[in-house]
Structure 1
Amino acid sequence: MSYSGPHFDPPQQRRSRRAPMTFALAALVPGALLGWVVYEGVGRSGADPAGHADAATPRSASGLPGDDAKVASPSATPPLKGKVVVIDPGHNPGNFRHSSEINQKVDIGTNWKECDTTGTATNAGYSEARFTLDVAHRLRTLLERQGATVKLTHDGDEPAWGPCVTERARIGNDAHADAAISIHADGAPEGDRGFHVILPAEVHAGGADTRPILGPSRTLGERIETDFAKVTGSSPSNYVGGGTGLDVRKDLGGLNLSTVPKVFIECGNMRDSKDAARVTSGAWRQKAAQGISEGIVSFLRG
């Protein structure tokens, strides 16, 4: 139905729209061609061969190509990956409850000796066993961060006492450790202070033969002595080692029976007030662990 009124014009004859559309398309073609040429010459300059724009062009924080753009590199291999370190925390917090067990005698090659001892303590009662276990835990964390596989001879609660010095050596041997360290603190008179590292003496008796490990153990000990002094600020012992910070002994089963490079460290004298202030400080114990760690890393990296 059609309608015509005062506000409507009568229907007009429809004209063809083909001519104007043809003209418009003709006008658009040159512009499209020009855009394609610009894209090929400029827009694809940052595209990869497959045509994915900017896939191969690093860009700066501003989003534009720049010198500050960095390409991610693969993660570096941890320096101690593939290395095994055995840490022997001297004594055991539970030893005092097991006097009969720790007093049994074991063969250390040069003679028979007590399975283990309770260790010493500061005058205020902070025990060597607690100290050595704390430093061992800190040291384990540092070495594992470097990629090392770390084994402890005991962890304070397991076993409940010991283990015997013979077993401590065996744990390192069975692990084929690249380095082993036994952590201690001394119980000398007041005024005797400082640290020292104990190296194995040449022993070839009974089940003990330290000859294959003498050279590498000395190198390990020298590296630890140097780095421990540097990191902790402690001085070498003024009562053992003639100021060198090194001592050689053949009466320690943990060294005599070792078939892997191994040393002991006496981190300080717990009965001296100045050294006691250090060993009872958590911040200093962290430095002690760091110094030992750096010495071990230096040894293992050659």
Structure 2
Amino acid sequence: MDEQHWLAERFAEHRSHLRAVAFRMLGSLSEADDALQEAWLRASRADVGQVDNMAGWLTTVVARVCLNMLRSRGQRREEPLDIQAADPMLGPASAGDPEHEVVMADSVGVALLVVLDTLGPAERLAFVLHDLFAVPFEEIAPMLERSPEATRQLASRARRRVKGATPVPHVDLARQREIVEAFLSATRGQDFRALITMLHPEVTLRADRAVMLTAEPVMVAGSEPVAKGAMAAMQRAQFTGPALLDGAVGLVMAPHGHLRVALTFTIADGLITAIDVIAEPDRLGQLHLAVLD
């Protein structure tokens, strides 16, 4: 067996792991696949005769490619206005296999992808490789041309962003999360009866102008109207998961890791009394978002 054939088999053997690394680094399945293609081209031209740990070496190659891609992005990518405005609850259409990408985002955690999207390339690399894939700082540091201690500090700063601020005092986050996840499950599953049981009879839902593309925010009151409106919207929602928003449990919708819509909930005595649907960029930018444990 020649070296190229042997290397191709090793690359295929570790492909799932390498794709997982690239997806967390880039937040996009299509970009992750592009990174793997570039990594294979680099690997196929390299002398691997002295490589003892093929999985670790290939991870390093993929990570370097992803780092270059993150650095080359420059300003935050923006989808065409007509795509974003067409349906902020859905987000822009994705290339490749959108259903697979939704599954990947759910498995990683939508909130984590959103927070990772706010990190600089070096912080993101240090955090993803060390905290998510247990790569030692001594192996990450050369990729960033920094010392292991400086790389450790990068990961520490990223970790603080992921954990976020202290939750609101005297709030039962576990109970909040249970209710919010039940809301998501009921709306996705179109279970009207289950949804009604978790809404206060006088619940209100407010959607800002960017959600509905209206001149003024839209307000709906009453459990049945709110339930119908929520089910109609959330049935179409993708890339959605729980997150800590300003210290309380809410939902974020983030195609490709880019925050598009957030839902905050007011909960009293085990019932949802108010829902605020936020899509205006200025309001989204003011939210303090973190990953739930």
Q: Which range, TM-score by smaller chain?
A: under 0.3
Larger radius of gyration: 1
Q: Greater helix percent: which structure? A: 2
